Structure 1
Amino acid sequence: MDVIQALEGYAITASAQSTWLLLEIRLADGTVGFGEASYFGREVEMQSVIRQARTLLIGRPCELPLEPLTSMQNGRTGSPGNLLAHVVEQAAIDALSRRAGLAMATFLGGAVNARVSVYANLNRGIVDRKAEGFAKRAQEIASSGHYKAIKIAPFDSVPADGSDVLEGPAFINSALLRVEAVRDAIGADVRLLVDCFGKLTPAAAREFLRQAARLNLYWVEDPINWAEAPPEESRALRSLANNSGIRLAGGEALGSEPEAEALLDLEALDVVLPDLRWTGLATGKAILQSAICRGLETSLHSPAGPILDLVSLQVAATIPSFSILERQIGESPFYDRLRGEPAVFEDGQIVVDLSGGIGGGPNRSVIAQHATCFTTEYPGALE
């Protein structure tokens, strides 16, 4: 019987703005599996629910779904209890597939992609957020030869209340200066993606898209809050973008198939990008497959640490026609070291590690040196 013998949580300070939270499950035979519970801004709550999970799950069979976790789930998308269930799912499937000598992708139905296209998200890794700072960092990433696509978030200090500043030309122009500087720095052959965090008004989004048409953008992500805008506004925005060769992307906050179907029914998106922390693996795959059936492109939202990166790569490997995966770049020197082995790049794609579970990671020595074990209150519990 696959009994859970231990469950530990680790916190690693990645930067001044980010803490990565990892979860480890150990089975009775010593096999371990990992998931990522990073929840920026709600780290204390996540640590608390992981401690609760420890008392609920140790000594119980590692069978999915894990019934004791249902008491911590409230059905609300994005709640720490729901995220916990999905992270335990990651760790349990990682452990079970490792023990079977299978890659997680194989365990989830089979790898149909040996390599996955990726893009570099520079947002958390940029300190100088003026146009010149964005351009310099983007040029560095492009010149490495690893990435053929780069995403930036040029709308800094955006108020979330829909205030009139979002309509102003100075506000739009400040973002356009960053985008234009990056386009000039990386050249025409590198795809350029822009994330607006859903904070623009429809009028501001239209103005930005009109002026950005000359900059050859691959996609604009969440230009507006899809849940609050009238459906006709959303569809009109997509039409405006598509007429300039720009895709509209969104879906990072999705947590269930009904939520996904409601968003897809708006017909406002060209690219759907759920986050496996919010959906879980099975639901995330179902959302991606539904998007493909509708003729849409697929991605995964993966803005956190290297364990989520490894999990997302395994899921992406199982999706036919998967488009491109997000990777957070430049925020912390621990990213590649904690990952276990550096990613192997081939022409803008990463070779999927099919050696077992999620791959080689994490690096135990990095955890022992830099992590705090918040479940048993001492570092290095992996040793």
Structure 2
Amino acid sequence: MNNSRISALDLVHCPVTAKTTWSFIRLTRSDGVSGWGEASWVRDPGVLDVFHAAARQRLLGQPWAALDGYLEGETPALPQAAIASALEQAMWDIRGKSNGNYSAALAVAGYRRRIPLYANINRSITDRDEAGFRRAGQKAVAAGFGRIKIAPFDGLTPGKIHTPTGRKLLDDGLARVAATRAGIGADTELYVDCHWRFDRLGASSVLKELAALGVGWFECPLMETLENIPALKQLRGEANTLGMRLAGLEELTHPAGFLPWLGAGAYDVVMPDVKYARGIAGVAAVARLAASFATGCAPHNPSGPIAHAASLVACAISDSIEQLEHQFDETPAFWRLINDNFPRPVDGASLTPALPGLGAELRR
């Protein structure tokens, strides 16, 4: 039993592009061991400050064991869940460092050493025309990735989808998909993230057009409310008929929250995020649940380097996780912010680091 206390709990915001700020938690024990977690909430990073202050007030000076009790609490708001999940990641980091082992070894002796990745190139595309998508796809393929994801439907909303403006936005999105396909060639898998921009009718109508462009993954087409589960299940059937899989659930904050969707068969693949779904143990728990319902699991991870490191641990201890999202080429800061000996992707996969803890140390 560790008799240390929690001596520091810091939140560090790192603006890395005009649109993206990564937010990291540094947790320190009184024995001097520190660990990192990531809580990035790019929609409004400043909101994290409120929940960080509350966590700091509750935990600072408390026994190390108090962290377990804190992490068992409810986290109904996503930014609150992000702080809690980052603390959970940092706890794994500290425990690994204290034992001199990679954190995955704390849970599974024979953990996975190589994790398949797919490249999310969307945030790297600052020129949102067809040429920009084509170039970004080509760059990811040249870097060794065989699975590429984009979010092409800029500006579209469920309220616009059946208007002339919506049709124009939809056509623009489809042109971006076609340009990406032209850039990556016929043999590379292409995934499309919709960011909840469709209604049921609009999502159904676009499936055939996407299938004709060789899209094999249709992500988050509808708002993820319990009322939409029957519509999603029906949409999944239509997608499967066209050779596509339906994926979603990137913003749920507790493994138990996945059960209604898994029980109904709403998705082919669920996407827990290490920043929201109770950290590393939460993602692993979702993977086990998904496997029990014969559903795939591929963690959501369009984030910074600490979330990437924590997600690799979750994948390493979960045989049923099929692949991990990787934020490709958004900014050179992704690799500059962490130690040089952390494994880089090779041939569309990442080795797990042969380093203690998460294997990633943030440069400050």
Fold agreement, TM-score > 0.5: yes
Aligned with 1:186 (options 180, 184, 201): 184
Deviation of 1:162 (Å)? 5.8
Taking structure 1 as reference, are residues 177 and 228 closer, same or farther at Cα in structure 2, changes over 3 Å only?
A: farther
**Which residue of structure 1 aligns with residue 12 of structure 2?**
10
**Paired letter, 2:18:** A
Deviation of 1:332 (Å)? 1.9
Identity of aligned residues (%): 31
- Contact 1:254 1:260 survives alignment (8 Å): yes
Structure 2: segments with no counterpart, 5+ residues? none
Taking structure 1 as reference, are residues 230 and 279 closer, same or farther at Cα in structure 2, changes over 3 Å only?
A: closer
**Which residue of structure 1 aligns with residue 307 of structure 2?**
308
Q: Name the SS of the counterpart of 2:276 in structure 1.
A: helix
Deviations 1:216-260 (A, max 9, x none): 223110111232654442222111111121111011011223320
Deviations 1:116-138 (A, max 9, x none): 01111112211111111111111
Superposition map of 1:147-226 within 5 A: 147-159=145-157, 161=159, 164-165=162-163, 169-226=167-224
Deviation of 1:322 (Å)? 1.7
**Which residue of structure 1 aligns with residue 358 of structure 2?**
358
Taking only aligned residues, the RMSD between alpha carbons, in angstroms, comes to: 2.1
**Paired letter, 1:4:** I
Deviation of 1:164 (Å)? 2.8
Q: Name the SS of the counterpart of 1:209 in structure 2.
A: helix
- Contact 2:85 2:277 survives alignment (8 Å): yes
Deviation of 1:83 (Å)? 2.5
Structure 1: segments with no counterpart, 5+ residues? 368-383
**Paired letter, 1:356:** P
Deviation of 1:350 (Å)? 0.4
**Which residue of structure 2 aligns with residue 245 of structure 1?**
243
The answer to whether the aligner puts 1:48 opposite 2:43 as a matched pair is no
CA distance in 1, matches of 2:64, 2:82: 18
**Paired letter, 1:107:** L
**Which residue of structure 2 aligns with residue 378 of structure 1?**
none
Corresponding residue pairs, total: 360
Q: Name the SS of the counterpart of 2:186 in structure 1.
A: coil
**Which residue of structure 1 aligns with residue 317 of structure 2?**
318
CA distance in 2, matches of 1:166, 1:222: 23
CA distance in 2, matches of 1:162, 1:64: 48
- Larger displacement relative to structure 2 (216-225 or 341-350): 341-350
- Contact 1:62 1:92 survives alignment (8 Å): no
TM-score (norm: length of structure 1):
0.88
**Which residue of structure 1 aligns with residue 101 of structure 2?**
102
Taking structure 1 as reference, are residues 120 and 131 closer, same or farther at Cα in structure 2, changes over 3 Å only?
A: same
Deviation of 1:167 (Å)? 9.4
Q: Name the SS of the counterpart of 1:119 in structure 2.
A: strand
Superposition map of 1:77-116 within 5 A: 77-78=77-78, 80-110=79-109, 112-116=111-115
Deviation of 1:307 (Å)? 0.5
**Which residue of structure 2 aligns with residue 140 of structure 1?**
139
